[in-house]
Structure 1
Amino acid sequence: MNNFILRNFLKTTGAIVLTSTLSFELAHAAGKKLIVGFIYVGPRDDFGYNQSHAVGASAIKQMSGIQMVDEEKVGETVAVQKSMEAMIRQDDVSLIFPTSFGYFDPHVIKIAKKYPKVRFAHCGGLWTKGKHPMNSGSFFGYIEECQYLNGVIAGYMSKSKKLGFVAAKPIPQVLRNINAFTMGAQLIDPSIKTHLIFTGDWSMPIKEA
């Protein structure tokens, strides 16, 4: 459910961003392909956040006049700055989707200022008009709604009244998911408690297990 909603959101958002990019004179001249870049903090096939973006990227790739390049397992460090610059200089990318929360500040901000003709669409909801570069922006899905439904299901299935939630980092978007999950479960039984573990990173399969 969660991935399904995010995949469809990305398809729609991608189309909107691509259309708006063309109107902002940031796209290529008519008849030339628009080259789009996606950057993931983890593997493309993680059955979660990164894979949802990869599926959305695949849908965008099928659009007429679009060429897509991507890179996986890029850390929230200067590594993402290098990846974005490589896409711009080597692949002629003019629209980049840096999909991880920690990419935005300072990395996307710095590269967006350096390359004002490139459009940056960051997933995370951090962009503020008047504060951040106008060639950058943010998008995010209402994924906590799916977590609420997950909580309802867990509430019906639980016999111990104790639920577990493994999360990466205590950022606002993640906390919304945890709260929504717990609220859904407590709709079924107010005595249910959610036990929480933060791994400290976005992709740590061994610790998550």
Structure 2
Amino acid sequence: MTTPLSKRSLLKMGGWAALVATAALVGCSKSETEPAAGAASEAASVAAKSEPLQIAFAYVGPVGDAGWTYAHNEGRLAVEKEFGDKVKTSIVEKVPEGPEAERVIRDLVGQGAKLVFGTTFGYMEPMLKVAADHPDVKFEHATGYKTAANMRTYDARTYEGAYMAGVIAGSMTKTNTLGVVGSIPIPEVIRNINSFTLGAQSVNPKIKTKVVWVNAWFDPPKETEGAQSLLNQGADVLFQNTDSAAVLQTAEKAGKYAFGWDSNMSHFGPKAHLASAVINWGPYYIKATKEALEGTWSTGGVWWGVKEGAIDLVAMSDAVPAEVKTKVETIKAGLKDGSFTIWKGPIVGTDGKEVLAAGATADDKFLGGINFYVKGVEGSVPSSK
């Protein structure tokens, strides 16, 4: 560092000597400092390239729910396996939908996350708020419909798994009465209930479906109560759009049938279990991460199903007749190659009015806005508010 004393001494020196000294200093600067600066810049660039992409997941339930959140976490683990030290993932479990979600998501960004996955419908508005404040971060919202320049939506066509389960349920019931434990009455869940019923009616036109709503995604005691209520009403095959294995376990105790949902739940009720409608989030999470790493990520909406390997019906029970299994596999193959369509008219609602004309095929906009029961589902759709 140059001191005031040295400055005063320099001022007393002759002009020529000062010029010589200045020239020497400048020469020294160019020959010694520029390479050092370049080396530092290169080192910083290497360090930046080697820094792992921080990815955060906000889960609505616990990883141990055996269903929805468990399936998302399996997808996260698939990302770690695929990309190794190129990524660093973190999770927060049991994040409530609403204001608390915004706080958690902001905290994840504050900790350095550059790719954030929010895994439930109720995170939509909180994520939009955080995304607006952090344009350098990429946000992915599961099951929503609102996007931003740095926020994309993604979903799985769970209704395809529900339909295939319905085909089995309609073949196995003796009372012609099916029961569904519903979580929250939003289009996603209503669509699954209807698809399950349509699948059952495709093999058994006498089918009627009863629904009990628990107004929660994960609440094993309420799910158990709902399942038992349906059994008391005469249902002998149960289905669910909730996240725990409680419905299957209740059916097991009662000597009835049920399905696993979102993951393979067969070990929770081996005698009751007919099959599990599962989601494989791995392929999508790997795709999104790859795009973020390569700089090709873009906003929009993604909705994957059997065709993309995101949805499947697995672990069909030995109790299911061979011809029913064959029918399910044929439907699965048709969904994969596009030759089979679930939502094709004529389809009517519980009031008898046509909701889809004969020969018409529902598009994604129609499917995304379903707020009615199809004929055969008892009762009326409650408000989601």
- Alignment TM-score > 0.5, same fold: yes
Structure 1 or 2, whichever has the larger Rg, is: 2
Equivalent position of 1:207 in the other structure: 222
Aligned residue type for 2:91? D
Question: What CA distance in whole angstroms lies between the structure 2 residues aligned with 1:188 and 1:133?
Answer: 43
What runs of 5+ residues in structure 1 fail to find an aligned partner?
A: 1-27
Q: Could you tell me which of 30, 40, 64 is aligned with 2:49?
A: 30
Equivalent position of 1:144 in the other structure: 159
Q: Could you tell me which of 93, 98, 102 is aligned with 2:122?
A: 102
Question: What CA distance in whole angstroms lies between the structure 2 residues aligned with 1:205 and 1:116?
Answer: 38
2:50 counterpart SS class? coil
Question: What CA distance in whole angstroms lies between the structure 2 residues aligned with 1:141 and 1:57?
Answer: 16
Aligned residue type for 1:43? P
TM-superposition CA deviations, 1:107-159 (whole Å, max 9, x none): 011100111111110001412xxxx4210010001111011011011111100
Question: What CA distance in whole angstroms lies between the structure 2 residues aligned with 1:169 and 1:125?
Answer: 14
Question: What CA distance in whole angstroms lies between the structure 2 residues aligned with 1:78 and 1:138?
Answer: 20
Equivalent position of 1:81 in the other structure: 102
Q: Could you tell me which of 124, 127, 132 is aligned with 1:113?
A: 132
Moved over 4 A (4+): none
Aligned residue type for 1:153? I
Equivalent position of 2:267 in the other structure: none
Matched, 1:192 2:207: yes
Q: Could you tell me which of 139, 142, 148 is aligned with 1:123?
A: 142
TM-superposition CA deviations, 1:148-173 (whole Å, max 9, x none): 01101111110000000001111111
Matched, 1:56 2:75: yes
Question: What CA distance in whole angstroms lies between the structure 2 residues aligned with 1:72 and 1:195?
Answer: 32
TM-superposition CA deviations, 1:51-100 (whole Å, max 9, x none): 1111101111222301100011000021111111111112x100000001
Question: What CA distance in whole angstroms lies between the structure 2 residues aligned with 1:133 and 1:144?
Answer: 26
Aligned residue type for 1:31? S
Deviation at 1:29, TM superposition (A): 4.3
Question: What CA distance in whole angstroms lies between the structure 1 residues aligned with 2:133 and 2:63?
Answer: 28
Q: Could you tell me which of 73, 84, 87 is aligned with 1:66?
A: 87
Identity of aligned pairs, percent? Answer: 36
Question: What CA distance in whole angstroms lies between the structure 2 residues aligned with 1:55 and 1:112?
Answer: 25
Aligned residue type for 1:44? V
Equivalent position of 1:40 in the other structure: 59
What runs of 5+ residues in structure 2 fail to find an aligned partner?
A: 1-46, 225-385
Asked if the contact 2:124–2:144 (Cα under 8 Å) also holds between the matched residues in 1, the reply is no
What is the TM-score normalised by the length of structure 1? 0.81
How many residues were matched structurally? 176
1:134 counterpart SS class? coil
Q: C-alpha root-mean-square deviation of aligned residues, in Å?
A: 1.3
Deviation at 1:30, TM superposition (A): 2.3
Equivalent position of 1:11 in the other structure: none
1:188 counterpart SS class? coil
TM-superposition CA deviations, 1:153-201 (whole Å, max 9, x none): 1111100000000011111111111111000111111110110111111
Question: What CA distance in whole angstroms lies between the structure 2 residues aligned with 1:178 and 1:50?
Answer: 20
